[in-house]
Structure 1
Amino acid sequence: MIAVAGGKGGSGKTTTTLGVADALSRRGAPVVAADADWDLPNLARLAAETRAASMTAPDSDPTLVDAIHAGGEIRLTRSAPTVLGAPKAPRDVDACPTFAALDDAVPTDAPTLLDCPAGASPDAAAPLRVADRCLLVTPLRRAALRDAAKTAAIARRLDCPPLGVVVARADSVPDGVAGLFDCPVLGRVPDAAPEPLSDPGVRSAYDGIADALVTRYGSKRWRVS
């Protein structure tokens, strides 16, 4: 289970969660992308808008709770990511046990990505407590880099070390970024508003990031081609 994390809201975590999930799916992996940002959930909406998953409208999206309460392993497809939305009543759900139950319900050879909240609150820490590793996402703005570095430090304290950094909406990456986070830069995603996941350059960037994740972490864990 990989937590997609960053310090600031709007840093590109949700787009990266879905972009990487879709790229892994293009490699034949059965992927789960789950919304762990329960205060500002938008993963399912973005999935519906970009047609990256099989549902056609946000109202039809299964939630994390739906998937867990169905019992047994979650049935996945290798043709598109399975996107799980936030609970409909998040304050009635205990986050850490829910993420742990999701981990148990997903087959061990299927990548699971958690779209994390921003900041350093207990809500933001919950998916980091459960995930095995994290993927940091940040634009190159000074405040965003500073806050992402704080998130990386928290993740390490919670035994969820970063696999690498994705630099969002950038034309190039300065040499010092990898040193700032003490982990490699796995890729740079160009700016392509307003629908980045429909842009060929963005899709290609996420394909490269997915390849890097497989090489660094998933080659012996995940079912990929």
Structure 2
Amino acid sequence: MIAVAGGKGGSGKTTTTLGLARALSRRGAPVVAADADWDLPNLARLASATDGDREPAADAPTVVDAIRTEGQIRPDRRAPTVLSAPDEPADVDARRILGALAESVPDDSPTLLDCPAGASPDAAAPLRVADRCLLATPLRRAALRDAAKTAALARRLDCLPVGVVAVRAESVPTGVGDLLGCPVLGRIPPAEAEPLASSAVRSAYDDLARRLVDEHGADRWRVA
């Protein structure tokens, strides 16, 4: 389980979670992408808006729905299984629910968690449950500073950063990996209003998926 984490809102976590999930799916992996940002849930909405409106976001199964199914969750290899936030997030324990999700997904299926922003207490729950985290950040000074705080929190919770992806970036300066204490695994170029509609952005996520598999999932995940 990989927690996609970063600094403040707008750092590209949700787009990276979905873009990476779809890239892994294009490699034949049975992917689960779950919204762990229950105060500002956007993952299912983004998936619906960028998927030809095949299924309204309101009809996407929640994380709680998924763990109530009998036996293991069976992700589809043709497209990511996207799970939305609970209908009543205040009534459930995030750490328990996300832990149950980890137990319900087959070990060889990549699971991505779209985390809350920053290093808040809400961000701690997915970081406690995930095996590793992927940092998503723009390259602005304030954003990098916030990403470094998130990386420090992740390390305290034994969720080591597997790498960083620079979003909306023309290039990545030397030293970003050193600042965040992990390798730069990808660079997502700037795009128009809908990044996931851009062929250049999709190609960048394909490259990120390849590098993430090489770095972390080669012996864990079922990928082509």
**Amino acid paired to 1:84:** L
What are the residue-to-residue correspondences of 1:156-195 with 2, within 5 Å?
A: 156-195=155-194
**TM-score, normalised via structure 1 length:** 0.98
Counterpart position of 1:29? 29
**Amino acid paired to 2:207:** G
Counterpart position of 1:45? 45
SS of the aligned residue for 1:40 comes to: coil
CA distance in 1 between partners of 2:70 and 2:125 (Å): 23
Contact kept, 8 Å, 1:164 with 1:186, in 2: the verdict is yes
CA distance in 1 between partners of 2:163 and 2:218 (Å): 16
Q: 1:120-176 CA deviation, whole Å, 9 max, x = no partner?
A: 221111100000000000001111000000000000010000000000001000001
CA distance in 2 between partners of 1:51 and 1:44 (Å): 10
CA-CA distance at 1:55 after TM superposition:
4.9
Counterpart position of 2:209? 210
Contact kept, 8 Å, 2:22 with 2:79, in 1: the verdict is yes
Unmatched runs of 5 consecutive residues or more in structure 2: none
CA-CA distance at 1:193 after TM superposition:
2.7
What are the residue-to-residue correspondences of 1:1-225 with 2, within 5 Å?
A: 1-51=1-51, 55-225=54-224
**Amino acid paired to 1:87:** P
**Amino acid paired to 2:163:** G
Q: How many residues align?
A: 224
CA-CA distance at 1:18 after TM superposition:
0.3
SS of the aligned residue for 1:34 comes to: strand
Contact kept, 8 Å, 1:20 with 1:209, in 2: the verdict is yes
Unmatched runs of 5 consecutive residues or more in structure 1: none
SS of the aligned residue for 2:136 comes to: strand
SS of the aligned residue for 1:208 comes to: helix
**TM-score, normalised via structure 2 length:** 0.98
CA distance in 2 between partners of 1:181 and 1:135 (Å): 11
Q: 1:67-123 CA deviation, whole Å, 9 max, x = no partner?
A: 011231012110000000000000001000101100010011000000000022211
